[in-house]
Structure 1
Amino acid sequence: MNRQEMDVLLCIAQGCNENQRALARMTGHSLGVVNRCLHTLAEAGYLNEADGRLTSKARELLENSRPSGAIILAAGYGMRMAPIGTEVPKGLLEVRGERLIERLIRQLQAADVTDISAVVGFKKEAFEYLMDEFGVKLVVNPEYGTRNNLYSLLRAKEKLGGSYLLPCDLWCAENPFRRYELYSWYMVSDAQSEESDVRITRARELAPAKPGQAGARMVGIAYFTPRDGVALRKSMETLEATGLHKNDFWEAALFAGGQPAVAARVVRDGAVSEINTYEELKELDGASVHLRSEALQAAASALGAAVEEIRDIEVLKKGMTNRSFLFSCRGKRYIMRVPGEGTERLIDRAQEAQVYRAIAGRGLCDDPVYLDPDTGFKITAFLEGARSCDSASADDLRRCMKKLREFHEMKLQVGHTFDIFAQIDFYEGLWAGVPSVYRDYETTKANVLKLRPYIEAHAGRKVLTHIDAVPDNFLFYPDGAGEALQLTDWEYAGMQDPHVDIAMFCIYAMYDKEQVDALISMYFEGDCPREKRLKIYCYIAACGLLWSNWCEFKRNLGVEFGEYSLRQYRYAKEYFRLFKAQCPEGLPDVQTRGENGE
């Protein structure tokens, strides 16, 4: 039996046996193909020739082809849904009175699919009720912050064969699931998409889209027979073993390693709506309760507008501490900051507000349009054409260091201090008893603490210091015929030796020693005394450990920063060694020897 004949048989099994035109409409095949399939199925003993009804042979085949279960992928952040995605997982968004994941579960159950697993991660506890109300099994992806859904699916790989596979952010107008499935397929729309990686071949199978050409819009629902499910699982395991596919969707495995061809199940455009953004939710259901986001209500109130006037929402790149989105209101564009996971434990928003009062009107940055010390929400005017500092551009660096030096020379004062060593202990304390991922952490920390006496002996007068003066926070923007420069994101700022800012810039830019020395010389305009250079080396080691501890806390919340976190830990070790080699007299007499003789 070929796929065309299977399509016709499945349609008849679903009750469509009115006439050949109805079968053609439901299968998408021509009348001629449908007519030929009916004759073949009858000759093969699957249909009664007299009335076209299913025979016992057909019923036996179908009963042995029931889907055994379903896997719903619901682990991710839904970052493009900002600001809603920071408040509720996408699968729990309400559309036309139903939560997305609940509607999908009900549609599966209507097709007699009851063995349903949901892979969860972000705000996983919010899905717990599904276990009691729908009998859903929860599978946790602890690395939802750093892995794409290829890894999520691997967490449920034992369920693959004979199961439906689907994302949680779909609204299906009609039930796409069936009591019987005779072959593997992947659902695509009849619309074209520039973002699609697949195309439909003449044989109605999926193939990789050609470079530069639009493909068929990918819906994301799929079904795999038991045999094909085993093949897909092996393909995914092969990709995972390489370590090169952490950011891939599971669909990458469809065409890897000789995976069998998968049929394209084509649905009309609009039959299935994928909800990735606030605007898409608004278009599908303008009355959804989730359009009344706390962040949007705060923005509207701050601007003296109605929530409906907040438009053109566009998610910006996720920051290391916060998430931000761009929006329009009454002809102007703004950026709103929404604090990320665990931020309320890291940032004192009242202190941040004090910093903004201290720098107001000094040409360092535009005053916030709105800043709420309780929620951490912040709104600033959008700088059209702005760009961040290019950490490889000598001209950019000279301007940034000049701006930084001018800020330090203002000698501004606030009522709080950013204590590096206290913060190292504070972030470590947030691990809640979970040991460091680095096996020589205790030795590394002990060595960094040995730098403290030298730092304290050579530290300059404490002034307001940015602390997060990294390349991304220096913004160049058009101003007349040239570019003006601002220093943004002051949430970590406090009283400290201003030379800490130089160290912070270096470790965020992940500079090597030659680049570090060049930046130090640039800040001091070529005249940096030896003791100050050595002090900055100490700051690089201490700040490297500080941000490594910060990364470990965020990792425990499911947020991973890849190479950045590893490099911060390396700065702690390498710049201790560098200081030790250049200034051994600056260390205590008693040395703690680690496995590297440190």
Structure 2
Amino acid sequence: MNIKEIEVLKKIKLGVSQRELAEQLSVSLGKVNQIISNLKQEEFIDENNNITLKTKNYFKNHHPRNAVILAAGYGMRMVPINTEEPKGLLEVKGETLIERLISQLHEVGVQNIKVVVGFMKEHYEFLIDKYNVKLVVNSHYKDWNNIYSLFLVKDDILDTYVLPCDVWFEKNPFSTIEDESWYLFGEEQVPGSNWQVKNNEKVRFNSSKGNKMIGLAYLNEMQGKNISKLLEKSIEEKQYASFWEDVLEDKKTFLLKGKLVSDNNHAEINSYEQLLDLDSGSTHLKNDAIEIIENILKVNKKDIHNIHTLKKGMTNRSFIFTVNNKRYIMRIPGEGTDKLIDRREEYDVYQRVKKEPYTETILYLNPDNGYKISEFLENTRNSDSNNVQDVKESMNVLRKFHSQNYQVNHTFDIWKQIDFYESLRKTASAYRDYEEIKDRVLKLKPFIDDNVTKWSLCHIDANYDNFLIDQNNNVFLIDWEYAGMQDPDLDIAMYAIYAGYTKEKIDQLINIYYENKVSENIRYKIYAYVAVGGLLWSNWCEYKQSLGLDFGEYSLAQYRYAKEYSKLVLNYLEKKNDKNK
């Protein structure tokens, strides 16, 4: 039985007239009469439009049994709210999104509900006792899309609703009766969808735009088994970046029928602004970051627009927003950064350099929690470490900064930092020869100390990505959170290892900074700093990995720098000592 026939049976049972049926189902009166005529022929209703025993038995045997709510995602577009709660627990009109969905499922008798969780999974634990749901943990939520979440419960998607946790329905979208499988689309036609729902519920491919995909589907037993096999196949083929809906598409054919929901009856909450539009009184709009923006820029939260996440950094979560047609960036410190960075020391650094034309304009910096608001540097790009001209421009700014000889009251002690990161990870290094390599790196300290000629404020995090270049070739050096007193040559080494330079490239970098006037000892001291910096950031990566963050090849490259350049410098020193004997 198709979707429209079921709706007619459910409503005619309640005494709804044909004309009212036509209005409620958004079809013509003639179409309603045709459906009723078919139902009479199949003996689902009698001549007086009353449901029959056959219908009652049909209703009894076609009750949805299960539901799967996908709630594992980070919700990148939900900044800054997702620093406090996962998106499924956002409050709308006095109740959380996921609790409203669970209550609506309970209303139609669906009690067997599984919630796939990942990001802030602990926040969902109360649902077990309150609603008797089962939690399924997706440990790969950071790296893989929701196809893996549904794969984890693939054996439980027979006669099942599948839905996201971040959608809100004014009227209950679920039913006591289901038969054919369907996918829910919104009435709105959007460029991001290639699927259009026709009057016969067929879903047609359209390359330009289609009905908005809502994320809710019903899978009967037959389609549930089919989808389960398709999920297995996708995971076997390592299609982790897919969304589960991708398995519904096969050569421009959509496997399920389409069901439309009125745009007035639903809302997706994928961003701060969507939550604001739906419920301006939501308690989750009272967010620390938003309140800071309101206070610093003297605006109302309704004046804050176009909030979106920057590429997630290694240390922080930052987002861009617009106020009065001007863009700003707000930084929210990431997981574990309170152990890595002294925000008061960072504050002191910014007090020294804030008037320099090569730094970003800081409007707010909290020395206690590290929240920061800065003006967005328009029409800039990250420097390219493989573009010689970009490297020259970056080194010119770095050299100018070093020449100003700024002084602060704290030091970035790279040797203590190595030990500090070791202590944070709380386990032995994953590298089998770590102790041997660390011992080799430590042997470089006397040579480095003997060749330090200057001690001033250094950036430390002199990543090529922290050098921005505008259309007039002005260069800006941003993100000073690791800065402290050090040997300026360390900044050169840091730039090199962030860029993944070979020895040839490192030599070229040194020549650019020193304008081809560098002694052999200083060159090898920079090599030594490459080794020390490699060990430092290798430890940093191991600590961050213990928090669930993985930096891939970057972490391996840092360890290789520690191994190869400690050996290079020690061999140089050994040969030098032999000559002096």
Please, what TM-score do these two structures have when normalized by structure 1? 0.87
Aligned position for 2:263: 269
Shift of 1:400: 0.6
Residues 545 and 569 of structure 1 are in contact (CA less than 8 Å); yes or no, is this contact kept in structure 2?
Answer: no
Alpha-carbon distance between aligned partners in 2 of 1:182 and 1:43, rounded to the nearest angstrom = 19
1:474 partner amino acid: F
Tell me which of 231, 236, 242 is aligned to 1:241: 236
Counterpart of 2:297 in structure 1 is 303
The equivalent residue for 1:107 is 104
Give 1:395's aligned residue: 389
Q: Is the 8 A contact 2:463 2:499 kept in 1?
A: yes
Aligned residue for 1:61, secondary structure, equals: helix
Q: Pick closer, same or farther for the CA change 1:467–1:195 going to 2, 3 Å.
A: farther
The equivalent position to 1:179 in structure 2, one of 155, 176, 180, is: 176
* CA distance 1:581–1:255, shift in 2 (3 Å): same
2:487 to 497, 504, 518: 497
Of the three residues 491, 508, 511, the one matched with 1:521 is 511
DSSP 3-state at the match of 1:451 = helix
Alignment-derived partner of residue 83 in structure 1: 80
The Cα shift of 1:428 comes to: 3.5
Say yes or no: does 1:161 pair with 2:161: no
**C-alpha distance 183-521 of structure 1, shift in aligned 2 (>3 A):** farther
Please report how far the alpha carbon of residue 270 of structure 1 lies from its aligned counterpart in structure 2 after TM superposition.
3.1
Q: Give the Cα–Cα distance (whole angstroms) in 1 for the partners of residues 229 and 423 of structure 2.
A: 41
Question: What's the CA shift for 1:131?
Answer: 1.3
Deviation for aligned residue 1:62: 2.9
Match of 1:361 in 2: 355
2: CA distance between counterparts of 1:28 and 1:163? Answer: 26
CA change 1:171–1:354 in 2 (3 A) is same
| Cα displacement string for residues 524-550 of structure 1 (whole angstroms, at most 9, x for unaligned residues) | 334454444444444334433433433
Change (3 A) 1:555 1:12: farther
Aligned to 1:591: none
Q: Counterpart of 1:338 in structure 2: which amino acid?
A: I
Q: Secondary structure at the match of 1:302?
A: helix
Aligned match of 1:477? 470
Alignment of 1:40 with 2:14, yes or no, is no
> Which of 317, 336, 339 is the equivalent residue of 1:345?
339
Distance of aligned partners of 1:165 and 1:539 in 2 relative to their CA distance in 1, 3 Å threshold: farther
Deviation for aligned residue 1:168: 1.1
CA distance in 1, matches of 2:413, 2:264: 55
SS of residue in 1 equivalent to 2:432: helix
Aligned-residue identity in percent: 41
The worse-fitting range, judged by mean Cα deviation, of 192-201 and 99-108 is: 192-201
| Matching of residues 139-288 of structure 1 within 5 Å | 139-200=136-197, 204-206=201-203, 209-210=206-207, 213-243=208-238, 245-255=239-249, 261-288=255-282
CA distance in 1, matches of 2:118, 2:354: 41
Q: Return 468-477 or 445-454, whichever deviates more.
A: 445-454
Amino acid paired to 2:210: G
- Whether 1:413 and 2:407 are equivalent positions in the alignment is yes
Aligned position for 1:593: none
Per the TM alignment, residue 399 of structure 1 is displaced from its structure 2 partner at its CA by 0.3
Paired letter, 1:453 = K
- Worse overlay, 373-382 or 58-67: 58-67
Asked if structure 2 preserves the Cα contact closer than 8 Å seen for 1:143 and 1:559, the reply is: no
Q: Which amino acid aligns with 1:39?
A: S
Deviation at 1:220, TM superposition (A): 0.8
Q: State the alpha-carbon separation in 1 of the partners of residues 399 and 392 from structure 2.
A: 11
Residue 387 of structure 1: CA displacement?
Answer: 2.1
Judging changes above 3 Å, is the alpha-carbon distance between structure 1 residues 494 and 23 closer, same or farther for their aligned structure 2 residues? same
**Could you give the per-residue CA deviations for residues 333-352 of structure 1, whole angstroms, max 9, x where no partner exists?**
42211112222222210111
Give the stretch that moved more between structures: 224-233 or 93-102. Answer: 224-233
- Residues 544 and 569 of structure 1 are in contact (CA less than 8 Å); yes or no, is this contact kept in structure 2? no
> How far off is 1:576 after superposition?
1.9
Give the equivalent residue in structure 2 for 1:18.
16
Q: How many Å apart are 1:281 and its aligned residue?
A: 1.1
* 1:594 match: none
Equivalent pair of 1:401/1:522 in contact (CA under 8 Å)? yes
Q: Distance in 2 between matches of 1:25 and 1:379?
A: 52
Ranges in structure 1 where 5+ consecutive residues have no aligned partner: 589-598
In the alignment, is the contact (CA less than 8 A) between 2:204 and 2:253 conserved in 1?
no
Give the structure 2 partner of residue 58 of structure 1. Answer: 55
**Aligned amino acid, residue 102 of structure 2:** I
CA distance in 2, matches of 1:377, 1:331: 22
Change in Cα spacing, 1:265 to 1:307, as seen in structure 2 (3 Å) is closer
Contact 2:144 2:240 (C-alpha < 8 Å) held by counterparts: yes
Using the TM superposition, name which of 353-362 and 89-98 deviates more: 353-362
State the Cα distance separating 1:557 from its structure 2 match: 3.1
1:330 CA drift (Å): 5.5
Residues 449-473 of structure 1: per-residue CA shift (max 9 Å, x gap):
4123225413534432212111221
Deviates more, 1:91-100 or 1:513-522: 513-522
| Distance verdict in 2 for CA 1:56–1:483, change over 3 Å | same
Determine which of 530, 545, 561 is the counterpart of 1:540. 530
1-structure distance, mates of 2:222, 2:573: 67
Which moved further from structure 2: 121-130 or 108-117?
A: 121-130
Deviations 1:18-46, CA, capped at 9 Å, x for gaps: 2333334444444444333333333233x
Contact 1:73/1:118, CA 8 A, preserved across alignment: yes
Q: In 2, Cα distance between the equivalents of 1:475 and 1:456? A: 35
Provide the rounded CA distance (Å) in 2 between the counterparts of 1:541 and 1:233: 50
CA drift of 1:304 comes to 4.2
Q: Where do 5+ consecutive residues of structure 2 fail to align? A: 576-581
Q: What is the CA-CA distance between 1:123 and the residue it aligns to?
A: 1.7
Q: Which amino acid aligns with 2:21?
A: L
Instruction: Pick closer, same or farther for the CA change 1:225–1:491 going to 2, 3 Å.
Output: same
Q: State the AA in 2 paired with 1:50.
A: E
Equivalent position amino acid for 1:471 in 2: Y
Q: Which of 428, 433, 443 lines up with 1:443 in the alignment?
A: 433
Task: Count residues in correspondence.
Answer: 571
Q: Distance in 1 between matches of 2:53 and 2:526?
A: 82
Structure 1 match to 2:372: 378
Matched-pair contact (CA < 8 Å) for 2:97–2:167: yes
Give the Å deviation of 1:308.
Answer: 4.7
Shift of 1:327: 3.0
Offset at residue 12 of structure 1 (A): 1.5
Q: Is the 8 A contact 1:408 1:498 kept in 2?
A: yes
Distance in 2, matches of 1:355 and 1:510, equals: 27
> Which residue matches 2:556?
569
TM alignment of 1:446-465, pairs within 5 A: 446-458=436-448, 460=452, 461-465=454-458
CA shift for structure 1 position 566 = 2.4
CA distance in structure 2 between the aligned counterparts of 1:445 and 1:207, rounded to whole angstroms:
62
Give the AA of the match of 1:123.
M
Taking the aligned partners of 1:290 and 1:315, their CA distance within structure 2 comes to: 18
- Superposed CA offset, 1:138-191 (max 9, x none): 122222222222222223333222211111111111110111211111111111
What pairs up with 1:573-592 in 2 under 5 angstroms? 573=560, 576-577=563-564, 580=567, 584=571, 586=573
Q: Tell me: CA distance 1:431–1:156, structure 2 relative to 1, closer, same or farther (3 Å).
A: farther
Shift of 1:196: 2.5
Task: Give the equivalent residue in structure 2 for 1:123.
Answer: 120
